[in-house]
Structure 1
Amino acid sequence: MRILHFVQSISDIHGSFFYLKKQHALLNQYGIEQYYLSYEKNQVDYKNELESISDYIYLLDNHTISDLLHKTIKPDIIHFDDVYSSYIINKSNKHQYFYELCKDMITVRTVHDYSSLVCPKFLTQGEKTYCDKPINKACLSKKCIHIDDYEMYKAYLNSLKRYDGLFYFSNNIYSIMRDMTIDETKLFKLPPLISRPHTYSYVSDKVILFAGRLVPQKGIAYLLKAMARMNLRDWKLIIAGTCDKSYFRKLMSLANTLEIQHNVRFVGHLPQQELFQYLSKVRVMAFPSIGHETYGFSGAEAIAYGVPVIAFDIEGIDEWLIEGITGMKVPIKDIDAYAQAMESLLTDDMIYKQYRENCIQWSGQLQLEEQTKILYSHYVNIYNKSKKN
């Protein structure tokens, strides 16, 4: 079986592609060939990280795309891993030719973010309040979306019913798609493809890690303010991720204003193996997203390493954050509550030890071989069912 993934870009800074890289290696054992067609050029060039799949990557070019589909690759399944809302926001139609060519092929889409199901502006509004319900005519009366964008997005949402399979990571995303009256037999829950480490470390140092894209909706500003509210002073916060220079300057300025600049260290993008090394050395994972997540892989990876997580109470994270067991949830944007939760895990060894043991117990369910079988069966089921029809 050959699968062609249509992706936004080829870069590990996007969690969707990070997942696909893991999927590529795991499905090889089942004889599945996977290829990647990128809508845009790499935002960041991590050649060493892409080396294992570099021969399978193509850049969207409307002059050669037909040959790619019908002669070069001849895929059995087209898997859309792109973010449709970006086309609406950026007024782009470069994707349309490829979409048209795929109409009569077996197609699958993964819902990687909330903007794929609710408002196309969900991931572009910074720290504003998000709409987390499917778009409707009330959005027009509020004048928060132009009529042309509204019609384009509604057409996209209606097109979801025509896919042969829709992949999702969390039950709340399943509920939204079910409420949209999408055929439930077309909905497939994806395994996280997370494995547990061979050993676990007990960390006494007061070190916290944040890992993810540095954008406003990830809540880093709220995290910095919460850290400054703690009575504790001998802590270290490691922030791993990339962002544009202007936002980085804002975060640095905020850290200086809060007088915690010496406690905070920005380390930029971390390749997978380096990230895992950090997870074995930190005591707590900070997950301060203020916008709903479709899963939240950095939090799940942390718990798999025995590292408890502190998060705002958002949708999507219940797949791995069990309140009072593997971590703590506090009301969204409640800085004082976040600071209190963080300080308790950093200073109370008995509480921390119990959370750590709970995380390790949770990670026992992560059997990578079984997860791979589930993923493989999804593709096989979709392919066989589509061929019969």
Structure 2
Amino acid sequence: MRLEDFDFDLPEDRIAVRPVRPRSAARLLVVAEGLRDAHVYDLPDLLQPGDRLVFNDTRVIPARLEGVRHRPTAPGARIDVTLMEPLAQGGWSALARPLKKLSPGDTVHFAAGLTARVTARHADRVDLAFDRDGAAFEAALADAGAMPLPPYIAAKRAPDAQDREDYQTIFARAPGAVAAPTAALHFDAALMDRLAARGIATTAVTLHVGAGTFLPVKVDDVTTHRMHAERGTLSEVAAAELNATRAAGGRIIPVGTTALRLLETAATPEGRFAAWEGATDIFIYPGYRFRAADALMTNFHLPRSTLMMLVSALVGRDVVLEAYAHAVAAGYRFFSYGDASLLIPQRTGPSVG
């Protein structure tokens, strides 16, 4: 299985740099028995009573920081930092540019009086110890940081105040992500009311999305790729809800690949659930046997990415490439602020009506 097997041509103008409004007005490509063009607001009519949508309730933190390095023996240097994940011993692992200008012992000064000391430098990142923690750190980060837009958006424009709303789902509760679970960005209160009225249930799980989600696959043999670990939680309440849906014959439909990866990590081989907490580095590619997900709602993903491999595992690589070719030709908008797809493997039962 080669990396080139998951490639496709994408015109630059198909990359969305802002979301549509209202959120549920985004287009939705239904991939079931053939392809069907719809919109996210059609979702209540596309699903069945008894289905359960699973959302990731992680909250994106303003993880992008601009600062100045301070070192007694050298002039200050501008440093861009993207927080990746908290370290077990305290502090944060972070991407930094330019990495070569940082060494252990350096101090980086950010806005709002926030400072960090470099405690270690690795091949691709640094470890930072900040001058405060807890609520004081969160408050300073809110003042000093910016939303960590994906590189393909950040290359076209700088993050701004509107992104603090646009790049956060309505389910966001648990701070810790440095990337949004973007499929859930399409949901608003009105759509949630219509889903509930249709008899479609919802469950929340948590997976704190890390900056590693944007790192490219660098190996030709994709089976040798290693994922970055991400922290997650499945509560007892969520497990009971999922088991009840499974027992009643309903479908479990994650909204986004992050929710799917958490469910697939926590599920037993028989598709049962219990409370779970920990880190997952699960890598899903064709040949994987799904235990938890009966379908998936997700955005359109980057060529040659692990997420292209995941959706190919669910519905088949040829089906995915056909769907993506249709989406490009039909003017769908791609990536984090783009449109969505509803992927229903034919082995899961009735097709979308």
Question: Shared fold (TM-score greater than 0.5)?
Answer: no
**Smaller-chain TM-score bracket:** under 0.3
Higher helix content, 1 or 2: 1
Q: Which has the higher contact order (CA 8 A, sep 6+)?
A: 2
TM-score (norm: length of structure 1):
0.25
